[in-house]
Amino acid sequence: MSTGKGTIKLGVLGSGSGSNMQAILDAIENGSLDAEIVLVLSDNPEAYILERAQKAGIRAEVIDCAGYKTRFPDASQAAVAEQLKSAGVDIVCLAGFMRLVKAPLLEVFPQRILNIHPSILPAYPGLMAWKQAVQDGARESGCTVHYVDAGMDTGPTILQAKVPVLVDDTADTLHARIQVEEHQLYPDAIRLVWKDIQSNASTS
Q: In terms of C-beta density within 10 A (0-12 exposed, 13-18 middle, 19 or more buried), how is residue 184 classed?
A: middle
| pTM (two decimals) | 0.94
| Distances from the Cα of 193 to the Cα of 92, 128, 159, angstroms | 11, 26, 10
The strand pairing partners of 10, in sequence order, are: 37, 91
Give the homologous superfamily in CATH for domain 8-203. Formyl transferase, N-terminal domain (3.40.50.170)
Residue 2, classed as helix, strand or coil, is: coil
pLDDT given at position 2 = 64
* Each residue's pLDDT expressed in tens, for the chain with a length of 204 residues: 666 567 999 999 999 999 999 999 999 999 999 999 999 999 999 999 999 999 999 999 999 999 999 999 999 999 999 999 999 999 999 999 999 999 999 999 999 999 999 999 999 999 999 999 999 999 999 999 999 999 999 999 999 999 999 999 999 999 999 999 999 999 999 999 999 998 887 776
> What CA–CA distance (Å, rounded) separates 124 from 89?
30
Of the residues 117, 146, 175, 183, which is catalytic?
Answer: 117
Give residue 200's pLDDT.
Answer: 81
Assess whether 117 carries a catalytic annotation: yes
Note whether 10 and 90 are within 8 A (CB). Answer: yes
